[in-house]
Copies of this chain bind each other. A is one copy, B any other.
Amino acid sequence: MSAKPFSFKLLKTDGMARRGEIETPHGIVSTPAFMPVGTQATVKAMYPGQVRETGADVVLGNTYHLMLRPTAERVARLGGLHTFMNWPHTILTDSGGFQVMSLAQLRKLDEDGVRFQSHIDGAKYHLTPERSVEIQGLLGSDIQMQLDECIKLPSPREEVERAMELSLRWAERSRRQFETMGGPEKGQGLYGIVQGGDVPDLRVRSAEELSKMPFEGYSVGGLAVGEPQDVMLRMLDITTPVMPVDKPRYLMGVGAPDDLLESVKRGIDQFDCVMPTRAGRHGLAYTRFGKVNLKNARHMDDPRPLDAETDCPASSVYSRAYLHHLVRAGEGLAAMILTWNNLAYYQSLMKGMRDAIETGTFDDFYQKTKADLARGDIAAL
């Protein structure tokens, strides 16, 4: 028996901004969507139920980490990643390629794939497009990514082009494996990944070639790897117009609140980023009025919460003085409260964008959000 097919409905547009719904075997993902990062089968410092309550429809799992520990085969035996991590909603996994290049030791890439040693125990692995999709299938991922090669920027055009062409060939191999694994029948989706660095014509060629292949969605990869925001946005300006209209578009690894706003404006539907969770573990809070560093002594005697006008207890109940104390004292509760606050803020930003697109007021929301972010945090007492 086949599951309901993976689907994307484009409900409304406002300029280039899009309001949509992705349907997967584990529910509906309202887009534009921010996907909290759950690298090792946990969104750090958060209970899974809490992540859901912030408004997340989908979380991301990292194939590289999970293949090393606890291993895809073990997760499969234990009922799949949803059961394992108690997240019954949609899960997206990356291909593992990005982390192999940033974390693994002694990596060696060729046409076939990439060989590397685990950063945990030095064990040897061989990740190919086929094995990456196999792992993602074992995990039971609803939204899977092709293996690609993501290079650092800036790089010479020849190098960018070589990696982009290799990624296209890997896209085909990934797709064949996905079909062999029965992904489409399970209602899962596989996304192709647009590469091409900061070279406009390579980005366009990559998007056009991928569009000829039957992916359920399309990612924009290889951005947010150190280039200035304006380079990233210029790449989106030329890329999203040549991407299929009727498929979701996922900008990988992005970003700060302003990046999300600018990218939705350019037609992006999905995002993931470690910023809100990582910042939460380093004493930093995201609010409507920008980033707040709770380590700062100015909060020491401040009885006000991060943002009294929000529903999230993390933002409205605990005083800045208390959060400052927890951060200074190295208490785990600081990371718990701040991560919660940050994910709640990110989700409220996404909901604000979705609501604005629905009512045709995205530009107003964009202006207002920019102004709030520029205003900065409330003055010290």
Minimal Cβ-Cβ distance residue in B for A318? B86
A303 engages B79 (CB within 8 Å): yes
Interface hits, A36-54 → B, CB 8 Å:
40-42, 44-47
Contact string against B for A residues 73-94, beta-carbon threshold 8 Å, 1 for contact and 0 otherwise: 0100111000011100000000
Copies of the chain in the assembly? 2
Let me know if A107 is at the binding interface, CB within 8 A: no
Task: Report which residue of A45, A303, A325, A328 has the largest number of chain B beta carbons within 10 angstroms of its beta carbon.
Answer: A325
Let me know if A300 is at the binding interface, CB within 8 A: yes
A329 engages B78 (CB within 8 Å): no
Let me know if A319 is at the binding interface, CB within 8 A: yes
A84 engages B321 (CB within 8 Å): yes
Say which residue of B45, B77, B84, B300 sits within 8 Å of A333 (CB atoms): B45
CB proximity of A43 to chain B, nearest CB, Å = 8
Question: Interface range on chain A: under 10, 10 to 19, 20 to 34, or 35 or more?
Answer: 20 to 34
Task: Given A42-B326, A300-B70, A326-B42, decide whether A78 and B332 contact each other with a Cβ distance below 8 A.
Answer: no
CB proximity of A212 to chain B, nearest CB, Å = 40
B322 engages A85 (CB within 8 Å): yes
B41 engages A325 (CB within 8 Å): yes
Give Cα distance in the complex from A254 to B42, angstroms: 34
Give Cα distance in the complex from A329 to B40, angstroms: 8
Let me know if A179 is at the binding interface, CB within 8 A: no
A321 engages B44 (CB within 8 Å): no
Give Cα distance in the complex from A259 to B45, angstroms: 32
CB proximity of A1 to chain B, nearest CB, Å = 25
Task: Given A86-B317, A328-B69, decide whether A333 and B46 contact each other with a Cβ distance below 8 A.
Answer: yes
A332 engages B74 (CB within 8 Å): no
Minimal Cβ-Cβ distance residue in B for A84? B322
Residues on the B chain within 8 Å of A335, using CB: 332
Residues on the B chain within 8 Å of A41, using CB: 322, 325-326
A78 engages B336 (CB within 8 Å): no
Residues on the B chain within 8 Å of A84, using CB: 319, 321-322, 325
Interface hits, A88-121 → B, CB 8 Å:
none
Task: Report which residue of A40, A42, A79, A318 has the largest number of chain B beta carbons within 10 angstroms of its beta carbon.
Answer: A42
Give Cα distance in the complex from A300 to B73, angstroms: 12
Contact string against B for A residues 309-327, beta-carbon threshold 8 Å, 1 for contact and 0 otherwise: 0000000011101100110
Residues on the B chain within 8 Å of A79, using CB: 303
Task: Given A74-B300, A301-B77, A328-B69, decide whether A42 and B333 contact each other with a Cβ distance below 8 A.
Answer: yes
- The 7 A-B pairs of least Cβ separation, nearest first, read A42-B333, A40-B329, A70-B325, A45-B332, A42-B331, A78-B321, A78-B303
Q: Which residues of A contact B (CB under 8 A)?
A: 40-42, 44-47, 69-70, 74, 77-79, 84-86, 300-301, 303, 317-319, 321-322, 325-326, 328-329, 331-333, 335-337
Question: Can you sample 29 A-B contacts with CB below 8 Å?
Answer: A40-B325, A40-B329, A40-B331, A41-B322, A41-B325, A41-B326, A42-B326, A45-B332, A45-B333, A47-B333, A47-B337, A69-B325, A69-B329, A70-B300, A70-B321, A70-B325, A74-B300, A74-B321, A78-B301, A78-B319, A78-B321, A78-B322, A79-B303, A84-B319, A84-B322, A84-B325, A86-B318, A332-B332, A332-B336
